[in-house]
Chain A
Amino acid sequence: MKIRLLKDKVIGTGMLALSVLSVSLVLLIGIGLYLRSLPILQQYSVWELVTSSSWRPMKGEFGFFPFIMGTLWVTGMSILIAVPLCLFTAIYLSEYAPASFKRFFLPLVNMLAGIPPVIYGVWGVFFIIPIVQRYIAPHFVEFSTGYTVLAGGIVLAVMIFPLIVSIVVEVLSTIPKELREASLSLGATKWETVKKVILRKAFPGIFAAIVLAISRAFGETIAVLMVCGNVPIAPQSIFDPAYPLPALLANNFGEMMSVPLYDSALMFSAFALLIIILIFNIISRAILQKIEIRNA
Chain B
Amino acid sequence: MTQTPHIGVKNLNVRIGDSHLLKDININIPDKSVTSIIGPSGCGKTTLLKSFNRLLDDIPGVNITGNVLVDGEDIYGKHADVTQIRKKMGLLAQRPFPLPMSIYDNIAYGPRIHGAPSKKELNALVEHYLKAVGLWEEVKGRLHGSASSLSIGQQQRLCLARGLAVEPEIILGDESTSALDPISTKIIEDLIIQLKEKYTIVLVTHILRQARRVSDYIIFVYMGEIIEFGPTEEILLNPKEKLTKEYVKGFIS
A and B: real partners? yes
Q: How far is the CB of A202 from chain B (nearest CB, A)?
A: 9
Q: Are B100 and A200 in contact, with the CB atoms below 8 A?
A: yes
Q: Are A182 and B84 in contact, with the CB atoms below 8 A?
A: no
A43 to B60, CA, bound (A): 67
Q: For chain B, residues 58 to 111, give those with C-beta under 8 angstroms from any C-beta of chain A.
A: 60-61, 83-84, 86-87, 89-91, 93-95, 97, 99-101, 109-110
Q: Chain A: which residue is nearest B172 at the CB level?
A: A185
Q: How far is the CB of B84 from chain A (nearest CB, A)?
A: 7
| Residues of chain B with a CB closer than 8 A to A185's CB | 53, 55, 86, 89-91, 163, 172
A167-197 Cβ-contact flags toward B at 8 Å (1 or 0)? 0000000001011011111111100100011
Q: Are A98 and B55 in contact, with the CB atoms below 8 A?
A: no
A98 to B58, CA, bound (A): 9
Interface size for A (C-beta < 8 A) is 22
Q: Are B114 and A183 in contact, with the CB atoms below 8 A?
A: no
In the complex, whether A236 has a CB less than 8 A from a CB of chain B is no
Query: 29 A-B contacts, Cβ less than 8 Å apart?
Result: A98-B60, A99-B60, A99-B61, A178-B95, A179-B97, A179-B100, A181-B91, A181-B93, A182-B162, A183-B109, A184-B55, A184-B86, A186-B113, A186-B162, A187-B83, A187-B84, A187-B86, A187-B87, A187-B110, A187-B113, A188-B109, A188-B110, A192-B113, A197-B99, A200-B101, A201-B100, A295-B100, A295-B146, A296-B146
- Given contacts A182-B99, A200-B100, A295-B100, list 15 more A-B pairs with CB under 8 A: A99-B61, A178-B93, A179-B99, A181-B91, A181-B93, A181-B97, A185-B86, A185-B89, A186-B90, A187-B113, A187-B114, A192-B113, A197-B100, A200-B101, A296-B148
5 closest A-B pairs by beta carbon, nearest first, are A187-B87, A185-B91, A186-B110, A99-B60, A201-B100
